[in-house]
Structure 1
Amino acid sequence: MRKRKPMFLLLSALLMMTMVTAACTKKEEAKPSASESSSPQKSAGASEQASEPSALEPVELTYYFPGTPQRDLALVEAEMNKILKEKINATIKLNLLDWGSFEQKMNVMSGAGDSFDLMFTAPWINNYYQNVAKGALLPLDDLLDQYAPKTKAAVPQSVWDSTKINGKIYGSINWQIVAMPYGVSIRKDLADKYKLDLSQMTKYEQLEPFFEQIVQNDKGVTPMSFQNNYDNFTVQAPYFGMDTIGEDASPGWYYLNKPEVKVVNQYATPEFKQFIDLMYQWNQKGYIRKDASSITDTTSDFKAGKYAANVGFPVKPGAEGELKTRYGFEFVTKAFSQPLITTGRAIATMTGISKTSKNPERAMMFIELINSDKDLYNLLCHGIEGKHYVFTNKDKGVIGLPEGVKPEEVGYTPGTDWMFGNQFNGFYASEADVGNWDKTIELNNQAVSSSLLGFNFNPDPVKTELTQTASVTKQYLSALTTGTVDPNKVLPTFLDKLKAAGADKIAAEKQKQIDEWISSKK
């Protein structure tokens, strides 16, 4: 049973003093310490403050995030609202949109000025930089300091600095691994069947014999899972020895191992050409689905056993457990790049507050709770105990499926713990995962940081060019990176159109700002 921890405010106002004096001795003894309390304020803009959440005006918050549709979402929402009503006198409306429609829906809502409170945002989906540029997000600096001190304290300042645009924070970090290496995840049953040894592998090309065996012997199974909404090249820039600057897909990256930071058009590099050549060959051999560039969510097909592997997969401690929860299969993983903290990784998953929110203070109180209240966090991530999961080892926080229930029968298994709050408050998916949160924190602390960690590109001087090049990349990039089109025929056209759209001007502006940033640090 959850222990009730009412949230008190540390105020000196006479009204507060009177109420505290009137409280009974027993309640006074049960009051949380200052370090455990938060400071809720009426979201309607009133300056009056209250000692009890019930004294706050009731509000409903709206939260938009992507994922695979969940049958029992409403049940989870109802359970979350019991906690939120008690803690901050609010309720939450969870709006889970499928991966394929999420970005378009958010763009339409932001463009129309629709009123809502919270949304998932990142450089790779519901673009963080574009949201800031068009004024869709509120600056969070003061709100974090006042209403989310635990959230602020949990994340290193260097990571918060990575979110800043023109000196302001517009996204609350969903705290997890930031030193992310990239590689592959492969179904263990197939790896065992073909005696696949990942231990000595360092690049994707070495997977070809394994993929060929699957094509020859496992009808109905496609070796590689690629989809349109999570780009197969840009999100794993460190694998190619590069890092992004600003929007992941925008022209202008830099090489990590060069003594000087020199901005290049990543789509004109040998690394990009080698990658899309390989993807085209693999598509021709049947390792990738012919319609991969039009697929927006592979989850259901993966659960049905129609895929063998994820390539370009972010490898981290506990990844195998997350994959089993999401797909129902055991997996083996292997990193092909070194752990590195980059700006792109630091801000890879955030929660923003909409500029149209009528209750920004209460929205930030929700962010604080989803980062600090383990009951609330695990409800959103795993659902309801006894219905969607059971404890297999409660002392160690290990969960599994209820007895006799198959993964596809569970009404709530989003498998996106990394998308919400502080992942280090989460349960473990297996006994083998116990201790992975400590390992992840250690990895974050020990990893090398990119030389541009903390630099954030200001897109304002080239907003027009960014819009134009984004249109070009949307037209060509997914088709190239999934091997759907012949790169020898299409890449020259892609590069010509990028150039005409202003790619060179964008790269030059990035170089200028980087040079100024580096000079300012000397």
Structure 2
Amino acid sequence: MKALKRSTFALLTLTFSLSLTLAGCSKSTTETPASATPALATSTAPAATKAATSDLKPYEVKLVYPGTPQPDQAKVEEAMNKVLKEKINATIKLMPIDWGQWDNKTNLMIASREEFDILFTAQWNGHAVNVGKGALMPLNVLLGQYGKGITDSLDPAFLQGAKINGKNYGVPTNKELAASGGIVYRSDIAKELGIDMTAVKTMADLGNVLKVVKEKKPEMTAFFLRDGDNLNAHYLAQYDYLGDSTIPGVIMKDGTDTKVIPKWDQPRYKEILKLTRDFMQKGYINKDAATTQLSGQDALKSGNVFMITSSLKPGKDGELANAANLVGKLAQIELTPRTISTGDTAGSMLGISVTSKDPARAMMVINLLHTDKQLNNLINFGIEGVHYTKVSDNIIKATDAGKNYAPGAAWQFGNQFLNFLYDNEDPQKWDKFKEFNKTGKKSPGLGFTFDSEPVKTQVAAAVNVGKEFDAAMDTGSVDVDASLPKYQDKMKAAGIDKIIAEKQKQLDAFLAASKQ
């Protein structure tokens, strides 16, 4: 990891450091000291020694994250609690929410001020909007007091890139930094049907494949799409939203232009919508694509889906295969160049809710997920001897009971470089992660994060318009020519022009400061 910190992201870290010139100019970067939080009175001592642990009162940490509840969740909680009680006198309550219900349920939890501690958050999933709502706590002081393991192991580029106005509201997962987009498909079915997948180089090439699957396997869903995971997703279309992807106004990650525009002014946007609509009308896509609550992983697990879209990295097909009980039956194809944007640094984070009664203990849990190999692998893979057996020190093999705890969410929690590898995965996976990061093209907006505060009223209205139109249009569920003008009119009424003008103003200031 230290080698990674020294070399892989040296230039990126410099870029992010320059961003701080702007980050603090519009707001004060003064953060309420952690000791001022009433709950911290029970957690003022470090948790590094038994003596310190004995000073901590018992506390249950509630962790809210997207995913399918697992049959053996209670067993894994019990095993995690043995570790947590010894180290920080805490227990944990895992609170997964199905992907299809994630946005609605978490929005309700935030609006009702429900008490919980840790929340999965990401720039592509409304992070900046929730920060603007005051739902997440600034973490800089807490990181300094209780996150030494995080700051020692996580490349500074992640924390720098995830800042909003100089403050971190989420701790990024230590994982791949570059990103590419593509598909994950049933390689066993492709072989059975004689489909040459090496011919797939572009989105349009998928049509020839899907046609064969539809004709020869009519009982299968040839192409499973959903809101957020489709050909127009940011990881495939290469949109850089300069922060939160629910806020309109983009530049292109794979381009050089720094002019912020509505995504519909980018030619590929309408091309992708037309292609997706064509696929839907030909019966290749699931009819409930705009409303389904299934994740792509769960759709594959059903055994009746040929292909999904996905953000890719080395071994993504293997990870999904293990989670979906399809070992040896999945493969992946990249359809985009590898890129690095600010959003990629904040593509998977754990934040602390302002309703937490002990944010220090919550930070201690996040710190342990970044540093404690036993705890990290418990939440990701379950219990040794129950859900898996050891093949070697870092290689595991799933047992028959492994299906009872297979969340497939290692990218969400802590430090992926602590993760075990399944025996069907590439043993050089983590080395390939490092190489993958080196090959990414840097977005022209790298290092900049948009502050939506000056246009928060317009942003709230635009987000609601997006909820009304994006899912239906991006999945091919409605006619493009009929829907797009209505979408544009409502976005203009919501104030998209003001949002884009403010984004452009802030980006220009950042770029100017970066040249000094």
Short-chain TM bin: 0.7 to 0.9
Q: Which amino acid aligns with 1:156?
A: D
Q: Note the 1:134-213 alignment, pairs <5 A.
A: 134-213=133-212
Greater gyration radius: 1
Corresponding residue number in structure 2 for 1:106: 106
Larger relative CO (CA 8 A, sep 6+): 1 or 2? 2
2:424 is aligned with 1:428:
no
Distance in structure 1 (CA, Å) of the matches to 2:151 and 2:365: 14
How much does 1:257 deviate?
5.2
How much does 1:72 deviate?
1.0
Query: Over the residues paired in the alignment, what is the CA RMSD in angstroms?
Result: 2.0
Corresponding residue number in structure 1 for 2:395: 398
Distance in structure 2 (CA, Å) of the matches to 1:342 and 1:364: 26
1:263 partner SS: coil
The change in CA–CA distance for 1:175 and 1:276 in structure 2 (over 3 A counts) is same
CA deviations 1:196-221 (Å, max 9, x no partner) are 33335321111212111111111321
CA deviations 1:447-481 (Å, max 9, x no partner) are 33223222110101111111111111111111111
| Matched-pair contact (CA < 8 Å) for 2:313–2:436 | no
Distance in structure 2 (CA, Å) of the matches to 1:102 and 1:129: 17
Structure 2 residues not aligned, in runs of 5+: 1-36
Distance in structure 2 (CA, Å) of the matches to 1:47 and 1:345: 33
Corresponding residue number in structure 1 for 2:501: 508
How much does 1:43 deviate?
5.4
Corresponding residue number in structure 1 for 2:285: 288
Q: Which amino acid aligns with 2:470?
A: L
2:460 partner SS: helix
Corresponding residue number in structure 2 for 1:355: 354
The change in CA–CA distance for 1:46 and 1:328 in structure 2 (over 3 A counts) is closer
- 1:327 aligned to which of 286, 299, 324: 324
Which range is displaced more, 252-261 or 427-436? Answer: 252-261
Q: Note the 1:101-500 alignment, pairs <5 A.
A: 101-125=101-125, 127-228=126-227, 230=229, 232-236=231-235, 239-256=236-253, 258-298=255-295, 299-311=297-309, 313-329=310-326, 330-391=329-390, 393-395=391-393, 397-402=394-399, 405=400, 410-500=403-493
CA deviations 1:411-462 (Å, max 9, x no partner) are 1111111011111111112344211012102322443322322211010111
How much does 1:353 deviate?
0.5
The change in CA–CA distance for 1:368 and 1:442 in structure 2 (over 3 A counts) is same
Distance in structure 1 (CA, Å) of the matches to 2:257 and 2:458: 26
TM-score between the two structures when normalised by the length of structure 2:
0.87
Corresponding residue number in structure 1 for 2:45: 49
The change in CA–CA distance for 1:232 and 1:89 in structure 2 (over 3 A counts) is farther
TM-score between the two structures when normalised by the length of structure 1:
0.86
| Matched-pair contact (CA < 8 Å) for 2:458–2:498 | yes
How much does 1:193 deviate?
1.7
The change in CA–CA distance for 1:48 and 1:184 in structure 2 (over 3 A counts) is closer
1:68 partner SS: coil
| Matched-pair contact (CA < 8 Å) for 1:42–1:49 | no
The change in CA–CA distance for 1:59 and 1:142 in structure 2 (over 3 A counts) is same
CA deviations 1:292-330 (Å, max 9, x no partner) are 11102144442221110112x122112121111121222
| Matched-pair contact (CA < 8 Å) for 1:68–1:297 | no
Q: Which amino acid aligns with 1:77?
A: E
1:499 partner SS: helix
Q: Which amino acid aligns with 1:308?
A: F
2:307 partner SS: strand
Distance in structure 2 (CA, Å) of the matches to 1:481 and 1:48: 49
Corresponding residue number in structure 2 for 1:521: 514
Q: Which amino acid aligns with 2:85?
A: K
Distance in structure 2 (CA, Å) of the matches to 1:96 and 1:242: 29
2:144 partner SS: helix
Structure 1 residues not aligned, in runs of 5+: 1-40
Distance in structure 2 (CA, Å) of the matches to 1:131 and 1:358: 19
| Matched-pair contact (CA < 8 Å) for 1:224–1:309 | yes
| Matched-pair contact (CA < 8 Å) for 1:123–1:248 | yes
Q: Note the 1:47-126 alignment, pairs <5 A.
A: 49=45, 51-52=49-50, 53-125=53-125
| Matched-pair contact (CA < 8 Å) for 1:116–1:357 | yes
CA deviations 1:19-43 (Å, max 9, x no partner) are xxxxxxxxxxxxxxxxxxxxxx995
The change in CA–CA distance for 1:207 and 1:359 in structure 2 (over 3 A counts) is same
